[in-house]
Amino acid sequence: MLSEAISNFAVGFMERAGYLGAALLMALESMIAPVPSEAVMPFVGFMVADGKWDPWVAILATSAGSLAGSLASYSMGYWGGRPLVLKVGRFLLLNPHDLELTERFFQKRRGTIALFLSRFVPVVRHLISIPAGMGSMPLSSFVAATLAGATLWNSFLMGCGMVLREHWHLVQKYSHQVDLILGFALFLGVVFFLKGRMRGR
């Protein structure tokens, strides 16, 4: 069963890597690496629901990771600007088109509130730290907005994982339907990824 295999792999990784592994994944998520928080935090919730992890330590570790990754992206934008971001980003599968969209998003909605809200917007949350650094946003405001937004988003996804784990018997009951949905989602992900790479070229 696909859903069971993914669950076992993710939980196994978390057990081996611990809090530090989760923090590292969330740091990559907040940079320009293609590691979505939706593929990390729910399984952190699994670990909490299983009684293996403390929820407060889990949130502290993952939020610290999110902040560390965001600061790395902020620094690239602040010190190197767009040329450095594009040079480094090509090794991490950065889509220049997505960066342009994020830059326009930030230019239209400058400010701490905009940065906070961007943490809940797909694609934008991965890249928003770069234009914030390029625009020399005050570091104190950047850290406050990033930490608040990342903590709320991470907590929400972790809570979803905890609820899903508690009702795992329903997932197993409807495993065929769940596998079809996961398979279709993976297929769409590959299609959009390849389309983005071609558009980037």
**DSSP secondary structure letters along 150-171:** HHHHHHHHHHHHHHHHHTHHHH
Q: Is the pLDDT of residue 120 over 70?
A: yes
**Identity of the residue numbered 122:** P
pTM of the model as a whole: 0.72
pLDDT reported for residue 171: 46
How many structural domains comprise the chain?
1
Sign of the C-alpha dihedral computed for residues 10, 15, 18 and 19 taken in this order: positive
Residue 25 belongs to domain spanning: 2-200
| Span 92-113, average pLDDT | 67
Give the span between the Cα atoms of 121 and 119, in whole angstroms.
Answer: 6
Decide: 65 and 27 in contact? Cβ < 8 Å.
yes
**Higher-confidence residue: 60 or 197?**
60
Q: What is the pLDDT of residue 122?
A: 75
pLDDT, tens digit (0-9, with 9 covering 90-100), for 40-70 = 888 899 889 989 999 999 999 999 999 999 9
- Predicted confidence (pLDDT) per residue in 2-13, tens digit: 445 555 666 677
Q: What is the Cα–Cα distance from 96 to 161, expressed in whole angstroms?
A: 32
**Rounded to the nearest 10 degrees, how much is the dihedral formed by the CA atoms of 122, 24, 56, 70?**
-50
Amino acid letter, residue 55? P
pLDDT at 36 over 70: yes
In this model, does residue 143 exceed pLDDT 90? Answer: yes
